[in-house]
Amino acid sequence: MIAEAFHKVFGSNPEVVVRAPGRVNLIGEHTDYNNGFVLPAAIDRYIWFAGRKRTDRTVRAHALDFADVVEFSLDAVERDSLHPWSNFLRGVSKFLESTGHRLQGADLVFGGNVPREAGLSSSAAVEVGAVAFWEKLLDLRLDPVDAIKLARRAENEFVGVPSGIMDQFISALGREHHALFLDCRDLKYRHVPLKGDVKIVVCNSGVNRALAHSEYEVRVRQCREAVEQFRKMGMEIESLRDVKLGDLIMRGKGLDKVLFKRASHVVTENDRVREAVNVLEQGDLKHFGKLMNDSHKSLRDDYEVSSQELDVLVEIAQRQPGLFGARMTGAGFGGCTVNLVQRDAADPFTKAIQEGYQKALGLHAEVYVFEASDGALTPGAIKP
Ligand code: GLA
C-alpha cells in the first residue's frame, strides 16, 4: 500500500520501505524521565515510510494522513509551525547530520494506522521510522540505542516535548509476543514473553489530550523539585529512581504535600514494574493484573494524571469477567486504557466496555485488540 502511494505521488517504485510501530505501556507510567523502569509493548499498528534518494539536498515529504506536503533543504533545517507534522522528520535529519551522518535529499511518503492523539505514540513511530528510513536508504550504520537517543532528541530538542525515552525505545526494539522491560537509567533491557491465553485490549476514551502537554511539563518539573527537596534533607540521590519506599516513608513528610504525592507514585510504580516482570515471567497474570489496577489508582490519586473518562473505562473493565487488570496508559489526561483480558473473553469485554461507556457518559469508545509486535530496528524483525 505504501509503495503504491509512493508510486502515485512520485511515478516510480520506492527504493526502500520501512515501518515503525506505536506502543502501549503495560506498566511503569511517568517513570522513564525519573530514570526508572517501564514495561511497554510495541503494537501491530505502524507508520510506514517509502522513498528514494535524490541527487540534491532537498527532502520532499508527503504525509498521507494529512494529505499535505513539505519541501525542505538539509542545509537549513528549521522548525515549521505551519506543518507541525514535518518537525519530526526535520528534527531527525538535523540530529543525524549533527552526529556525523551526511545525508542526501530524498522523496518520501509516510503514513499509517497508529491512532493519533490517543497516547499510543504515533509521533515516536514517525521519529523512529524516519531514522530507520534514512538508515536503510543511505546504508548508515547506527547502533540501535544511539538511533533511539537521536529520535528522542528530535522530540525533546526540536519538537520541544520533554518526554522520556520509553516511546522511541519500544518503537525501535519491541519484539513479537513480548513486552520490553527497560531500565531507563542504564538502558539495559530484556524482552519478557507474553504467554498464556491473554489479549491486550486498548480502549480509547476519545477525549482529546488537551492538558497532556502542559501538565506533563508540570509533572517533570515537580519530580525534579522533589529530588531537590530530598537532597536538602541530605539524601544523595540523582533522581526519584534512587528513592526507596523506606526513604519515602521516613523522609517523605518533609516534602511539600503535592511533591510527596508525586514522589509516592514514582517510587511505588518502580516497585510495581519490577514485581510485574517477576510475576509475568512466572505466568501469574492474576498478580500482574492486580499491579495494573494498583498502578491506575496511584496515577489517579497521587500523580493526578487520569480523567473522569479514563476512570470510568477502568471501573467498567474491572467489573468484567475475564479481566486480569486495567489502567490508564501513556501520559494521561485522555487517551487510552490498557486491559489484560482472557483470550475468549475479549469479544464480550469489548461489547461491555462500549455499552457501559455509552451509558455512563454518552460517549463512544473505540476498542482495539493488539498483538505485541517487532520494532523498527529489532534484529531479525519481520520485514514490512
Ligand atoms: C509519554 C512520554 C513518555 C512517558 C509517558 C508516561 O508517552 O512520551 O516518555 O513519560 O508519557 O509514562
| Closest ligand 1 atom number to CA of residue 25 | 12
Distance between CA atoms of residues 146 and 168, nearest Å = 11
| Closest ligand 1 atom number to CA of residue 29 | 12
Q: How many CB atoms lie within 10 A of CB 364?
A: 12
pLDDT reported for residue 212: 73
Give me the half-sphere count of Cα atoms (radius 13 Å) on the Cβ side of residue 223: 26
Q: Read off the C-alpha cell for 364.
A: 463512544
44 given a catalytic annotation:
no
CA of 4 from ligand 1 middle (Å) equals 34
Q: Which residues line ligand 1 (CB under 6 A)?
A: 29-30, 32-33, 163-164, 166-167, 330-331
pLDDT reported for residue 213: 80
End-to-end CA distance of the chain: 11
Distance between CA atoms of residues 121 and 35, nearest Å = 19
CA of 165 from ligand 1 middle (Å) equals 8
Strand partners, 215: none
Q: Whose CA is nearest to atom 8 of ligand 1?
A: 163
The amino acid at 72: F
Cα–Cα distance list, 71 to 62, 76, 294 (Å)? 9, 11, 48
- 326 touches 357 (CB < 8 A): no
pLDDT reported for residue 208: 78
- 283 touches 197 (CB < 8 A): no
pLDDT reported for residue 103: 96
- Mutational pocket test of ligand 1: of 29, 38, 163, the residue with most ligand atoms within 8 Å of the beta carbon: 163
CA of 196 from ligand 1 middle (Å) equals 28
| Closest ligand 1 atom number to CA of residue 30 | 12
Q: Whose CA is nearest to atom 9 of ligand 1?
A: 164
- 166 touches 40 (CB < 8 A): yes
- 299 touches 29 (CB < 8 A): yes
From the candidates 167, 294, 302, 374, give the one annotated as an active-site residue. Answer: 167
Distance between CA atoms of residues 312 and 364, nearest Å = 12
Task: List the chain pLDDT tens, one digit each, 384 residues.
Answer: 999 999 999 999 999 999 999 999 999 999 999 999 999 999 999 999 999 999 999 999 999 999 999 999 999 999 999 999 999 999 999 999 999 999 999 999 999 999 998 999 999 999 999 999 999 999 999 999 999 999 999 999 998 889 999 999 999 999 999 999 999 999 999 999 998 899 999 999 999 777 678 899 999 999 999 999 999 999 999 999 999 999 999 999 999 999 999 999 999 999 999 999 999 999 999 999 999 999 999 999 999 999 999 999 999 999 999 999 999 999 999 999 999 999 999 999 999 999 999 999 999 999 999 999 999 999 877 667
Q: Read off the C-alpha cell for 334.
A: 485522555
The amino acid at 317: A
Q: pTM here?
A: 0.97
The amino acid at 341: V
| Closest ligand 1 atom number to CA of residue 161 | 8
- Give, as one character, the DSSP assignment of residue 95: H
Cα–Cα distance list, 179 to 276, 277, 322 (Å)? 11, 9, 21
- Give, as one character, the DSSP assignment of residue 382: P
CA of 121 from ligand 1 middle (Å) equals 9
Q: What's the chain's Rg over C-alpha atoms?
A: 21
Cα–Cα distance list, 373 to 44, 196, 215, 267, 355 (Å)? 5, 16, 30, 29, 29
Is the sign of the CA dihedral 348, 349, 350, 355 positive or negative? positive
3-state percent helix, strand, coil for the chain, nearest multiple of 5 = 45, 20, 30
- Mutational pocket test of ligand 1: of 23, 24, 30, the residue with most ligand atoms within 8 Å of the beta carbon: 30
| CA-based nearest residue to 171, from 20, 25, 323, 31 | 20
Residues 301-322: b if buried by 16+ CB within 10 A, e if exposed? ebbbbbbebbbbbbebbbebeb
Cα–Cα distance list, 296 to 25, 89, 341 (Å)? 12, 34, 16
Distance between CA atoms of residues 167 and 243, nearest Å = 24
- 30 touches 303 (CB < 8 A): yes
CB-based contacts of 248, cutoff 8 Å, min separation 6 = 263, 264, 267
